[in-house]
Structure 1
């Protein structure tokens, strides 16, 4: 007996691994992608919206609406990652301009509308800074109870950050937004950098995809070539961490992960540790847990699934 597909809103800052998460959503029959909501982060908002549209066009998915959201963090200056994702967010890849544009509705309003129209059904997957989500909570607090789940890729608990010695990028860019979400009472699953840094797509995986031929796998190869170079130069390992696809996979394969109920807070006060996520894993404080934090993940199984689904999606698309 087939299950009803999960209704997903993907809040994103496209970004190389964001683009891969979009493609995985489109390649996964377990998911109905209701909307892409875009925030500034890996690249400026304008580039992120363009990237989202162009990736959808590449995958022949013009039916998925793209909603432009908030360009800047709530209180801090903008912070992007061209050294990680390239000048415009997609590494060495270039895509033709999409023959369709973004929706008129603002991303914050789209998040609210989708959740309130289907209480208990929408999974909000947030793979960028949480600015759009925080503002949606402030504008319509009822979404806290109405959303089915929120899955967030972000934070660094027991490892060094990837942006500062203590902070992971998505939280560091807008720590105040992250704190609003953490304090809201939303059902929240966090897959942190501790876990996703080990979820690696290697050149061997890319070479396997290239044997399929076609523009989709060529895009993946061109984008990840930049990403792989970055990871080798900055972290010293071969391959690239595909953080955001791993977060998306938790929607339809929660068995990939082990989680712990943890109280999580974000440092929004100290310049030295701004954006540091603190988790009370040992229950030292009396704070009630406010998140499920992924503490283990079957990376090998997931990466194989990701590659298989990209192969399948590529076969469904024209070769030119």
Structure 2
């Protein structure tokens, strides 16, 4: 059975409070910039999980981008430093040595960034999530575009999180789609399969105890995130909508590593990050394109993108070396377990990219205007 779970309308989206856990990451950065551009979104915290790069670099990327997007007040916290049971594997070939391709930003001079207390039983990021959920029961949406390490630790420390949160959106897994890390496994679940299995087991238990279906995680797997295939022309559209002084062209014929000369700092950042991503996909024979998985998940969390999803019980392989991190969805109840997730089955990339350009360009224009006023211009 297919269930329509989310519908975009012409009405202004309802206010939403988001706890965002990421491993920034080029597509994580795009998702974070988009959420910062959404005036109806309150970013309660951005927490950093090791994945694309180590946790310290993830946090540095988050702080710098939030400062650029004029959200320096958002707390940035570090959680786990490694997966639950296996060594950390990062992906510099996909996202660059610093995680954001060719993009460069100075560290912010001030921010509400908070460090993790590594000597405590519960890392700062995990403790912050739990406190925020307890203080705002039924109000917070968790968005996770990273390995599920921090979320698994949070569920260990507070088993009531499924009831305390308003909802959860997860980017991860692959079902009827080839994996992007092994033939069957998606990156996030492959980096920490044990954490992913714990999270879905926790939601199975919560469903058995009567958790409302709308509080089950919405799972954005490769089956639908790879439909968000960005073409390089979109960067030019973003630059034009942002009012850049000159056209922005990201061309397959450019020398590798060409840097953006866009007049707008946010456009320049995103262009340099995405160019690396386009080049990566080309090296793996996918064309000069970029799959922006995490932006789609962010749009669901923000309530701005349309999607459909199917209820299923999801589990993760943790024993087989050949299939480590593979996700399996039981849509028919063959395991005798209740649904523990809504697996997204359909989305609308064209509308999603229009939404991305509109909101992100508006933020870019605001940044330009604020910088101009700060310099006494205009």
TM-score, normalising length from structure 1? 0.96
1:318 shift after superposition: 2.3
Partner of 2:297: 247
State how far apart, in whole Å, the 1-side matches of 2:88 and 2:301 are.
30
Please state whether the residue corresponding to 2:176 is helix, strand or coil. coil
- The residue correspondences of 1:231-246 to structure 2 (distance < 5 A) are 231-246=281-296
2:176 corresponds in structure 1 to 158
- Cα distance in 2 for partners of 1:30, 1:264 equals 31
What per-residue deviation string (whole Å, max 9, x for no partner) do you get for residues 28-69 of structure 1? 123111110111001111110100001011112111110111
Give, in angstroms, the shift of residue 231 of structure 1.
1.3
Q: Over alpha carbons, which structure has the higher Rg?
A: 2
What is the alpha-carbon distance in structure 1 between the residues aligned to residue 154 and residue 162 of structure 2? Answer: 10
Correspondence 1:198 to 2:248? no
1:108 aligns with 2:126: yes
1:263-298 Cα deviation digits (max 9, x unpaired)? 110000100000000011344332211100001111
Deviations along 1:224-275, one digit per CA (max 9) or x if unpaired, are 0000111122141332111111001112337611100011100001000000
Given that 1:210 and 1:221 are in contact with CA atoms closer than 8 Å, whether structure 2 keeps it comes out as no
Q: Is 1:268 paired with 2:318?
A: yes
Identify which range, 101-110 or 194-203, moves more after superposition.
Answer: 101-110
- Candidates 99, 105, 112, aligned match of 1:89: 99
Q: Which residue of 2 aligns with 1:46?
A: 56
Contact 1:246 1:302 in 2 (8 A): yes
In the TM superposition, what are the counterparts of 1:255-294 in structure 2 within 5 Å?
256-294=306-344
1:305 equivalent in structure 2: 355
Q: Show CA shifts across 1:147-180 (max 9, x none).
A: 1111000001111100111100000000111011
Corresponding position of 2:41: 31
Number of positions where the alignment pairs a residue of Structure 1 with one of Structure 2: 320
2:270 aligned counterpart, secondary structure: helix
- Unaligned 5+ residue runs, structure 1? none
Are 2:14 and 2:303, in contact at CA under 8 Å, matched by a contact in 1? no
Tell me how far apart the structure 2 counterparts of residues 104 and 210 of structure 1 sit (CA, whole Å). 35
Mapped partners of 2:321, 2:82: distance in 1: 19
Residues 6 and 235 (structure 1), Cα distance of their counterparts in 2 relative to 1, 3 Å cut: farther
What secondary structure does 2:143 align onto? strand
- Deviation by residue 1:80-135 (Cα, 9 ceiling, x = unmatched): 11111000101011111111252146101111111111111110000000100000
SS in 2 for 1:54: helix
Could you say which residue in structure 1 is the equivalent of 2:87?
77
Q: CA deviation at 1:208?
A: 1.8
Is the deviation greater in 283-292 or in 265-274?
283-292
Map of 2:146 onto structure 1? 128
Question: What is the aligned counterpart of 1:188 among 211, 217, 224?
Answer: 217
Confirm whether residue 11 of structure 1 aligns to residue 21 of structure 2.
yes
Give the Cα separation in 2 of the matches to 1:113 and 1:206: 39
Matched residue SS, 1:145: helix
Which stretch shifts more, 150-159 or 228-237? 228-237
- Residue 167 of structure 1 contacts residue 273 of structure 1 at CA under 8 Å; is this kept in 2? yes
Segment of structure 1 superposing worse, 27-36 or 95-104: 95-104
What SS does structure 2 have at the residue aligned with 1:60?
coil
